[in-house]
Structure 1
Amino acid sequence: MKRARYWIVAVLVLAIVILLWGRSQYSSPPDSPRPTTRGCLLGGDDRDAEDGEQQSKSKPTANTRPTVGSPTKDAEGEWSPADPAADPDNPTLDGPDAELADWDNALFGGVLGQQPQGTINIYDEPLTTLHPLFPRNMADIRAQTLVFDRLFYRSSINDERRSRLVGKYEKRDEQFILTLTPDIYWHDGEDFTAEDVCFTVRAILDPGTPTTLDNNIRESLVGCQTDGELTATITMKRAHHDFRDRLGFAILPEHVFNTTTLSPDHDFGTRPIGTGSMSAIRGRRAVKFQAFPNAHHQPSITNLIISEGGAPLVQMRTLLNGGIQGLTNVPPSLRKDIARVDDFVLKSYDLRSVWYIAINTHNEVLGNAVVRQALQHLIHPPRLVELTIGIDPDDLLPVVEYVSGPFLPSSSYCDRDVDIPTYSPKKAARKMTVVGYEKRGGRWTNSSGPLSLRLGMDVSLDNEAPNLLDHVRNVLVAAGFDVKVSKITGSDFRNLQQRGTNNYDLLIGKWSFDLIEDVEAMFHTREKGWGSRNIFNYSNHEVDQLLETFATTSSAEEAQKAYQQLHRTVATEVPHIYLWKLDTKGAFHMSVRNNTISPHTFFEEFDGWRLE
């Protein structure tokens, strides 16, 4: 019996010796440099040849994220959620593997901050590109915000202009000297430098680059020069009052491209390289993002997957059934269903969007401002809200704010003396009669016969205001017009905006503002790069002058006066009938914490999001 005990003790001692020897193989001697960990950082520590001072600067690489628990691709190349059994929040490593994991955590925690954890799945609109010079919809802008940094952006908290890339700046008349933040890296590990800033400016200015950025950005820039690795001097045409807003574009990596003539079809739109919180790869119906800690970003979420959601009702059911953790946009008609469930929360954010009906002023009938004013008296936005969105217009907590012009009611450019037009079919009839039209058999007519209107709408608006097109048609038909309606796909509608059209008389759309609350693209005559989204090429000399004053002045007060006068002028001219500003809400599972949503860009403050 004693002999058996001795054998047991001997085996245990031998096992302990072997274990200790195995551990030593994974440990570095106290005086030796740290080993390179390719999965997290490039390179080890360097030592100064003269004084032995140890350097701590390490570059992230393009593959810095742990793969445990990461989403995977299925047979069709689509991203799927992580395997719960391989959850990085609950590691099951033992022995030497655990030591390696601790070493990995030390690298992330000591050099780059807390290691990101978890995966979030979100539904959004169809996304077309990750290339920041060619966004075509709000989904593109949201996704690009995760991958790229803009020179300047606005705080989601207090609307202050800030920058993660610029440490300080100096304004000298038309020149803006930017000193960049050091130790920032691209997702492929290359240094972010002033060359990247100037390359981006040259690419935007290149006439062969068909950027979809607002024209006022391109029209504001003259050129860019570098002075060392971290100093860039951008020259603008004028000392604009809002120059930081005009520098609110994303920066591209100069080392990736061999020309400043950039194409929207470049592979960069699928596999971009940025300096933002997340790296990304775009599939056919989804985009997978992975956290990329950097000197200026410390994301807390490991993975984010944004997928095309489909019908709003299907999106909501998938959310409530636990298939996803978030929706970027919940139509008002579905919000009560989500609000009833304790595990989910609705989050309000401002898309800075105005809904409108654009009027073709080149139409023989609609070219008369009095006729356009008559149409304005026929449209009753509160009734349309009740019929389409399905909410009480007298609700104490309305989701709709009615507008009198192209500026948001909260804007300093909004002239509050301009009243919201009144609904009055009688006033409309009087105006039509004054300009020589008469009703025959209930139809407005002229010498050519009954007046006929071609009405179209961006069909994607049906998700938020179902059947809006039909209800507007019914209003016009009841008032005495013949109306032919067309539903236009989102991509076709954007093409109409960019090219202009004369194939419709009325178009229902939605306009969203970015950093620059500039309406030049919508109202300026299409010429010399101006009026890039003036869908019917509305043209008014006074309006053009006011728009150019706003674009060129260095005085914020003069800019405000110009736009308030513009508000008054278009209220009389009526190139658009303004409907409303719709409150926008996303929805998230309660496990997604601290998820501040930024106006327009959505993910500007993504670093602070957490998953619990």
Structure 2
Amino acid sequence: MRRSRAQRAALISAGLSLVLALAACSDPSQDDDTGTSDEGTSDGGAAEDTALNAYLYQAPNSNWSPMAPAHGPDVIVMNLIYDSLLGVNPDYQLYPRLATGLPEVSEDGLTITYTLQEGLTWSDGEPFTAEDVVFTYNMVANPATGSPSAGKFADVEGAAEVTAGTADTVSGFTAPDEHTFQITLTKPNLGIVGLTGNIFIIPQHVLADVPVDEMDTTDFFTKSPNVGLGPYVFEEYQTDQYVHLVKNPNFREGEVDIDEIYLRPVTSDVATAQLGTGEMDLVQISPADLSTVEALDGIEVASAPGAGFIRTSVNELKPYLKDVRLRQAMLYAIDRQQLIDEALGGHAQPVNASFMKDALPDDLETYEYNPDKARELLAEMNWDPNQVIQLTWIPGQRDRDTAATVIEAQLNEVGIKLELNQVQPGELTDMMNAQSYDMTLYGGGNYATEPFAVYPIDSCNTHYPNGANLSFWCNEEFDRLVQEANQTVDEAARYDLYRQAAVIENAEVPMIWLYNPDTIWAHTDRIQGFEPMGDQTNPFWNVQEWSLDG
């Protein structure tokens, strides 16, 4: 039986009432003496109108470490409790945060100099200096810490020695004085600013004595209170209920207006229902709910184009997944436009390469829906229809859940036996570490600010855990073109090289590209100062400018 939107909303609300009743006894943001005034107006927090409840699209791993593999919900928390030299604004342009401006690059392209803001302190009151930046970059550039981002620093002087274990620190990271941080390169690397300027800075005075090989297990990144430079301090995580943060009284911008934030890992359906009942203030909504949410009183809707995309990795370490024709067949077998129209209300664009904007050529193969072509490719490679492929993902986001079921049905239709495997974040991390997965469905990334950002997800040198290449694809000509582009000062020539690399990637299909979604935010009109960000991991990019009215 097909239900109307109103009927579905009523069912969601009815089921939600029981959930909220059971949770209230252990959830401080729902207690009458902390969250609801005598007049019956809930502010969702410990003090009247000073707490904000926001949707967290998945449960976090609760490891707030810049050296941990990137996991979107954890990155959202880290964007609140840490800060970085540079940030990315809603136009996907770099802008200064801890730095006073964008860095200076020497004429030979070998020295990058950041000037830091003066007078900044950590949340525990200790002064922030360039030595904290040197310490942080050394930790992130050292694979012994468990950092998957170490490969981004391959061109930094002394990084190779640290990777080889013959040096303890990277000689190319220096602090000429307490307000200056320099990176010295072995060859020009124009993309390194965009790839590494947003690294979350961690406190040397707290972590200096932790052995490097224990950095990924130290309890600093899970305990409360955490020490950071961001507008908020981590207070507690109640598993599967909320992440609680309180404002940092020493934040560099001065007084933060909103006292507390509760990040709530619930499904998108529940989050939308809570937005309607007033129990949620900020939600990333599904396009399927857009018309319903727009009809709610006191709710404002804003959207921004995404900088990343939803895709599935294909583990080429598995012999049965190595043939490029299989991956091409998968793309032809999936009706991505239908998926976009039905699951996202048209608020997305199909993707046929990882590059974006000016780095994307116009003449790529578009892999339009063609199941007959898919069958031809499978027959050509003598594909075994009894071979089972498992697609693993973390459930809870409606478009991704829908995408998984559509992929399952349409691949099975052409003779690829796909099985779905829903897991929790920790389980997926274990599978990644063991390289035991066949395919994983995930999304995110920012490929709009800096084209070289594609290199970590595609290159031969950044196979996980040394980078974010979860498909273990390798094409040396692709790597050569991208590296040459990254060293080319002339912008027109640089982007031409990126477009050549995109043609190779498009033909070899290192991953199954699905779509680039618009990010749609809905929030109570009590929030003032909110500016929509297309990056779903950073809705709080300017939270220090927010306030809650009434």
Q: Same fold (TM over 0.5)?
A: yes
User: Which residue of structure 2 aligns with residue 493 of structure 1?
Assistant: 428
User: Which residue of structure 1 aligns with residue 441 of structure 2?
Assistant: 508
* Residue 217 of structure 1: how far off its partner (Å): 4.6
User: Which residue of structure 1 aligns with residue 307 of structure 2?
Assistant: 352
User: Which residue of structure 1 aligns with residue 54 of structure 2?
Assistant: 122
User: Which residue of structure 2 aligns with residue 316 of structure 1?
Assistant: 272
* Residue 465 of structure 1: how far off its partner (Å): 3.6
User: Which residue of structure 1 aligns with residue 263 of structure 2?
Assistant: 307
Question: Whole-Å Cα distance in 2 between the matches of residues 553 and 259 of structure 1?
Answer: 40
Distance 1:578 1:452, change over 3 A: same
Letter aligned with residue 472 of structure 1: I
2:96 corresponds to which of 163, 166, 191: 163
User: Which residue of structure 1 aligns with residue 369 of structure 2?
Assistant: 423
What CA deviation, in whole Å up to 9, does each residue of 1:566-612 have, x standing for no partner?
21012211222321111221221111112113343221211221211
2:126 corresponds to which of 190, 193, 199: 190
Question: Whole-Å Cα distance in 2 between the matches of residues 347 and 214 of structure 1?
Answer: 36
Letter aligned with residue 286 of structure 2: P
Structure 2: runs of 5+ lacking an equivalent:
1-23, 40-47, 160-169
Q: Between 514-523 and 575-584, report the one with greater CA deviation.
A: 514-523
User: Which residue of structure 2 aligns with residue 585 of structure 1?
Assistant: 520
Q: Does 1:607 align with 2:544?
A: yes
User: Which residue of structure 2 aligns with residue 17 of structure 1?
Assistant: none
Partner SS for 2:498: helix
* Residue 360 of structure 1: how far off its partner (Å): 4.4
Q: Between 191-200 and 463-472, report the one with greater CA deviation.
A: 463-472
* Residue 117 of structure 1: how far off its partner (Å): 7.3
Partner SS for 2:100: strand
Partner SS for 1:192: coil
Is the contact made by 1:500 and 1:534 (CA closer than 8 Å) also made in structure 2?
A: no
Distance 1:232 1:297, change over 3 A: same
Question: Whole-Å Cα distance in 1 between the matches of residues 394 and 463 of structure 2?
Answer: 31
* Residue 343 of structure 1: how far off its partner (Å): 0.9
Q: Does 1:263 align with 2:216?
A: yes
Question: Whole-Å Cα distance in 2 between the matches of residues 556 and 191 of structure 1?
Answer: 39
Is the contact made by 1:378 and 1:424 (CA closer than 8 Å) also made in structure 2?
A: yes
User: Which residue of structure 2 aligns with residue 204 of structure 1?
Assistant: 140
Distance 1:428 1:337, change over 3 A: same
Distance 1:275 1:86, change over 3 A: farther
Q: How does 1:397-546 map to 2 (within 5 A)?
A: 398-408=346-356, 411-433=357-379, 435=380, 437=382, 450-460=385-395, 462-497=397-432, 500-501=435-436, 503-504=437-438, 506-513=439-446, 516-517=450-451, 518-525=453-460, 532-546=467-481
Distance 1:162 1:429, change over 3 A: closer
Question: Whole-Å Cα distance in 2 between the matches of residues 462 and 75 of structure 1?
Answer: 27
Q: Does 1:374 align with 2:329?
A: yes
Question: Whole-Å Cα distance in 2 between the matches of residues 489 and 281 of structure 1?
Answer: 23
Letter aligned with residue 205 of structure 2: H
Is the contact made by 1:79 and 1:288 (CA closer than 8 Å) also made in structure 2?
A: no
Partner SS for 1:583: strand
* Residue 185 of structure 1: how far off its partner (Å): 1.2
Is the contact made by 2:287 and 2:347 (CA closer than 8 Å) also made in structure 1?
A: yes
* Residue 368 of structure 1: how far off its partner (Å): 3.5
Is the contact made by 2:141 and 2:153 (CA closer than 8 Å) also made in structure 1?
A: no
Letter aligned with residue 315 of structure 1: A
Is the contact made by 2:266 and 2:396 (CA closer than 8 Å) also made in structure 1?
A: no
Question: Whole-Å Cα distance in 1 between the matches of residues 262 and 491 of structure 2?
Answer: 39
Distance 1:181 1:117, change over 3 A: farther
Is the contact made by 2:268 and 2:396 (CA closer than 8 Å) also made in structure 1?
A: no
Q: Does 1:137 align with 2:87?
A: no
Is the contact made by 1:242 and 1:556 (CA closer than 8 Å) also made in structure 2?
A: no
Is the contact made by 1:526 and 1:537 (CA closer than 8 Å) also made in structure 2?
A: no
Distance 1:214 1:231, change over 3 A: closer
User: Which residue of structure 2 aligns with residue 272 of structure 1?
Assistant: 226
Letter aligned with residue 241 of structure 1: L
* Residue 237 of structure 1: how far off its partner (Å): 3.7
Is the contact made by 1:355 and 1:508 (CA closer than 8 Å) also made in structure 2?
A: yes
Question: Whole-Å Cα distance in 2 between the matches of residues 267 and 362 of structure 1?
Answer: 35
Q: Does 1:283 align with 2:232?
A: no
Is the contact made by 2:303 and 2:534 (CA closer than 8 Å) also made in structure 1?
A: no
* Residue 401 of structure 1: how far off its partner (Å): 1.0
Question: Whole-Å Cα distance in 1 between the matches of residues 515 and 392 of structure 2?
Answer: 15
Question: Whole-Å Cα distance in 1 between the matches of residues 486 and 38 of structure 2?
Answer: 54
Letter aligned with residue 421 of structure 1: Y
User: Which residue of structure 2 aligns with residue 339 of structure 1?
Assistant: 294
Question: Whole-Å Cα distance in 1 between the matches of residues 336 and 76 of structure 2?
Answer: 29
* Residue 491 of structure 1: how far off its partner (Å): 3.5
* Residue 119 of structure 1: how far off its partner (Å): 2.0
Is the contact made by 2:464 and 2:470 (CA closer than 8 Å) also made in structure 1?
A: no
Question: Whole-Å Cα distance in 2 between the matches of residues 371 and 208 of structure 1?
Answer: 36
Is the contact made by 2:314 and 2:470 (CA closer than 8 Å) also made in structure 1?
A: no
Letter aligned with residue 201 of structure 2: I
Partner SS for 1:140: helix
1:238 corresponds to which of 187, 197, 200: 187
Is the contact made by 2:391 and 2:418 (CA closer than 8 Å) also made in structure 1?
A: no
Question: Whole-Å Cα distance in 2 between the matches of residues 205 and 405 of structure 1?
Answer: 28
Structure 1: runs of 5+ lacking an equivalent:
1-73, 88-115, 392-397, 438-443
Q: Give the superposed CA RMSD.
A: 3.3
Identity score, percent? 18
What CA deviation, in whole Å up to 9, does each residue of 1:411-455 have, x standing for no partner?
22211221421222333344445x364xxxxxx65xxxx452413
* Residue 480 of structure 1: how far off its partner (Å): 3.0
Question: Whole-Å Cα distance in 1 between the matches of residues 372 and 184 of structure 2?
Answer: 55
User: Which has the higher Rg, Structure 1 or Structure 2?
Assistant: 1
Question: Whole-Å Cα distance in 1 between the matches of residues 314 and 35 of structure 2?
Answer: 53
Question: Whole-Å Cα distance in 1 between the matches of residues 478 and 317 of structure 2?
Answer: 17
What CA deviation, in whole Å up to 9, does each residue of 1:479-534 have, x standing for no partner?
23444443343433344445534x52x44332422754412232222579886233
User: Which residue of structure 1 aligns with residue 85 of structure 2?
Assistant: 151
Partner SS for 1:412: helix
Question: Whole-Å Cα distance in 2 between the matches of residues 120 and 436 of structure 1?
Answer: 55
* Residue 365 of structure 1: how far off its partner (Å): 5.6
User: Which residue of structure 2 aligns with residue 47 of structure 1?
Assistant: none
2:248 corresponds to which of 292, 305, 330: 292
Letter aligned with residue 186 of structure 1: W
Question: Whole-Å Cα distance in 1 between the matches of residues 67 and 325 of structure 2?
Answer: 40
What CA deviation, in whole Å up to 9, does each residue of 1:528-563 have, x standing for no partner?
988623323222222232343345555554542332
Distance 1:486 1:542, change over 3 A: same
Distance 1:349 1:308, change over 3 A: same
Letter aligned with residue 354 of structure 1: F
Larger RCO of the pair (alpha carbons < 8 Å, separation 6+): 2
Distance 1:356 1:293, change over 3 A: same
Partner SS for 1:466: helix
Question: Whole-Å Cα distance in 2 between the matches of residues 322 and 550 of structure 1?
Answer: 50
Question: Whole-Å Cα distance in 2 between the matches of residues 227 and 365 of structure 1?
Answer: 53
Count of equivalent residues: 488
Is the contact made by 1:455 and 1:473 (CA closer than 8 Å) also made in structure 2?
A: no
Is the contact made by 1:147 and 1:274 (CA closer than 8 Å) also made in structure 2?
A: yes
Query: As a proportion of its length, which structure holds more helix?
Result: 2
Partner SS for 2:366: coil
